[in-house]
C-alpha cells in the first residue's frame, strides 16, 4: 500500500514538468514573461547606474581618464575631510528642519482646505502651484527675493523701519542655511498638504459627529479621531518628503552652489561639485554612496511605519 502511493506520487511528479512547459497554461511562466520588459528597464536604468556608482567610488577615475581600483581609499580620505562632514551636518539639518516644517505647515494647510470654503476646488488647485513650477524657476525667484541689494524682504523691512541695512541672506552662513530651508519648505508644502488632504477626506464625517455628541472639543476630535486615522498616510508622506529633501540638489545649486564657505553644501551638491567641475569622478561617487545608509534607514523607518496597524486588519470595508 505504502509503496503503491509512493510510486503514484513519483509518477505524477514525472508528469508535471511536461505540463509546466505549456506556457499559455502556466501562470508562473506567463507572469515571468510579462515582467521581463519592466525588469529590463529597471536593471538598465536603476541597477546598472547604482552599481556603476558604487564601483566608481572605489576607483580613482577622473574626467577623461579611466581609473584604477583603489579599494576604500576615497572613503578614508572623506573620513578626514572636514568639508564632507560639514555637508553631512548640513544635509541632516536641512532634512530635519525642512521636513518638520513641511509636516506641520502641510498638515495645517490640509486641515484648512478640508473645511467648506468658498471656491474650494480653486483654492486646492492654487496650493499645488509651488510644486508644479519647475524647481529651477522657483529657485531663481527665491534668488531675487534673497538678493543682497534688491531683496524685497530687505526692502520691505527697511521701509517698515525694522532694519537699517539689507540682510545678506545668501552671504551669511546662518542666514543662507535658513534661506535655503525656507525655500525648500515653500516648495515641499503642497505635496504634503494635498496628500494629507486626500487622507483627511477618507475619514467619514459621521465619526466627527459621533465624537461631537460624545462630547469631544475640536482639539480632542483632532487628537483622538483625525490624527490616529491619518497616521498611515502620514508615514507614507513623510517618508517621501524625507527622501526628496535629503537628495535635494537643484534648489541649492541655483541659490548658493553650496556657499558661502560650504555652509549650504549638501551631500548631493558636494558630490556633484567634486565629480563634475572638480573632475574627481571617483571621489564624487564615493560621496554619493555615503548617502545610501541614510536613505536606507529612512526606507526602513517607512517599512515599519507603513505596516498595517492592528485596527486596519480584518474585515473588508
Partner 1 sequence: MASVDIRQVRKAFGTFEVIHGIDVDIGDEEFVVLVGPSGCGKSTLLRMIAGLEPISGGEISIGGRVVNMVPPKERDIAMVFQNYALYPHMTVFDNMAFSLKLRHAERSVIEQRVRQAADILDLTKYLDRYPRQLSGGQRQRVAMGRAIVRDPQVFLFDEPLSNLDAKLRVQMRTEIKALHQRLRTTSIYVTHDQIEAMTMADKIVVMHDGHVEQVGSPLELYDRPVNLFVAGFIGSPAMNFFEGRLRRDGDRVWVEGKGDLLFPAPPGVRGNEGQSVVYGIRPGHLRLASDAEQGLPAEVEVVEPTGDNTLVFCRVGDAIACAATTERFPLRPAERLRLVPQVESGHVFDAATGMRL
Which residue ranges make up the site for partner 1 (CB under 8 A)? 204, 206-207, 209-216, 220, 224-225, 228-229, 309-315, 317
Whose Cβ is closer to partner 1: residue 119's or residue 311's? Answer: 311
Cβ of residue 211: shortest distance to partner 1, in angstroms?
8
- Chain Cα centroid distance, residue 137: 20
Cβ of residue 315: shortest distance to partner 1, in angstroms?
3
Residues β-bridged to residue 65: 62
Most distant pair of Cα atoms in the chain: their distance: 102
The CA-atom distances, in angstroms, between 209 and each of 116, 205, 216, 234 are 16, 6, 10, 23
Task: Give the count of alpha carbons within 13 A of 298, CB side only.
Answer: 21
Whose Cβ is closer to partner 1: residue 49's or residue 218's? Answer: 218
User: 207 in the Ramachandran plot: left (φ > 0), alpha (ψ -120 to 50) or beta?
Assistant: alpha
Whose Cβ is closer to partner 1: residue 304's or residue 311's? Answer: 311
**Burial zone of 56 (CB within 10 Å; 0-12 exposed, 13-18 middle, 19+ buried):** buried
Whose Cβ is closer to partner 1: residue 65's or residue 309's? Answer: 309
Cβ of residue 213: shortest distance to partner 1, in angstroms?
5
Cβ of residue 263: shortest distance to partner 1, in angstroms?
44
**Residue 95, C-alpha cell as written in the block:** 532634512
Whose Cβ is closer to partner 1: residue 21's or residue 219's? Answer: 219
Whose Cβ is closer to partner 1: residue 92's or residue 200's? Answer: 200
Q: Residue 189 and residue 131: Cα distance in Å, rounded?
A: 8
* Three-state secondary structure readout of 87-155: HHHHHHHHHHHHHHHHHHHHHHHHHHHCCCCCCHHHHHHHHCHHHHCCHHHHHHHHHHHCCCCCCHHHH
Cβ of residue 114: shortest distance to partner 1, in angstroms?
18
Q: Residue 198 and residue 236: Cα distance in Å, rounded?
A: 12
Torsion of CA 69, 70, 75, 80, to 10 degrees: -150
SS percent in the chain: helix, strand, coil, step 5 = 75, 0, 25
Whose Cβ is closer to partner 1: residue 211's or residue 285's? Answer: 211
Cβ of residue 219: shortest distance to partner 1, in angstroms?
11
The CA-atom distances, in angstroms, between 9 and each of 6, 21, 124 are 5, 20, 64
**Residue 165, C-alpha cell as written in the block:** 541695512
Whose Cβ is closer to partner 1: residue 211's or residue 289's? Answer: 211
Whose Cβ is closer to partner 1: residue 25's or residue 214's? Answer: 214
Cβ of residue 40: shortest distance to partner 1, in angstroms?
40
Residue 23 DSSP class = G
Amino acid at each position: 500500500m505504502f509503496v503503491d502511493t509512493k510510486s503514484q506520487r513519483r509518477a505524477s511528479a514525472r508528469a508535471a514538468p511536461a505540463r509546466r512547459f505549456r506556457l499559455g497554461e502556466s501562470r508562473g511562466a506567463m507572469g515571468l514573461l510579462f515582467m521581463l520588459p519592466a525588469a529590463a528597464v529597471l536593471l538598465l536604468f536603476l541597477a546598472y547606474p547604482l552599481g556603476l556608482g558604487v564601483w566608481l567610488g572605489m576607483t580613482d577615475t577622473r574626467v577623461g581618464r579611466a581609473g584604477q581600483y583603489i579599494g576604500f581609499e576615497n572613503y578614508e580620505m572623506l573620513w578626514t575631510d572636514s568639508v564632507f562632514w560639514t555637508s553631512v551636518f548640513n544635509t541632516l539639518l536641512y532634512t530635519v528642519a525642512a521636513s518638520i516644517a513641511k509636516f506641520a505647515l502641510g498638515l495645517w494647510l490640509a486641515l484648512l482646505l478640508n473645511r467648506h470654503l468658498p471656491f474650494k476646488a480653486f483654492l486646492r488647485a492654487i496650493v499645488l502651484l509651488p510644486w508644479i513650477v519647475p524647481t529651477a524657476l522657483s529657485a531663481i525667484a527665491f534668488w531675487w527675493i534673497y538678493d543682497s541689494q534688491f531683496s524685497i524682504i530687505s526692502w520691505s523691512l527697511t521701509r517698515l523701519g525694522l532694519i537699517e541695512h539689507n540682510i545678506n541672506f545668501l552671504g551669511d552662513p546662518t542666514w543662507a542655511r535658513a534661506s535655503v530651508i525656507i525655500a525648500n519648505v515653500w516648495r515641499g508644502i503642497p505635496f504634503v498638504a494635498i496628500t494629507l488632504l486626500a487622507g483627511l477626506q477618507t475619514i467619514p464625517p459621521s465619526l466627527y459627529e459621533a465624537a461631537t455628541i460624545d462630547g469631544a472639543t475640536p482639539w480632542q476630535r483632532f487628537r483622538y479621531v483625525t490624527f490616529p486615522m491619518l497616521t498611515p498616510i502620514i508615514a507614507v508622506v513623510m517618508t517621501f518628503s524625507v527622501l526628496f529633501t535629503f537628495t535635494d540638489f537643484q534648489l541649492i545649486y541655483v541659490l548658493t552652489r553650496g556657499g558661502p564657505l560650504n555652509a549650504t553644501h549638501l551631500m548631493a551638491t558636494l558630490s556633484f561639485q567634486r565629480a563634475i567641475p572638480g573632475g574627481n569622478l571617483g571621489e564624487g561617487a564615493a560621496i554619493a554612496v555615503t548617502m545610501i545608509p541614510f536613505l536606507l534607514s529612512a526606507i526602513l523607518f517607512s517599512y515599519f511605519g507603513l505596516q498595517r496597524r492592528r485596527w486596519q486588519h480584518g474585515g473588508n470595508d
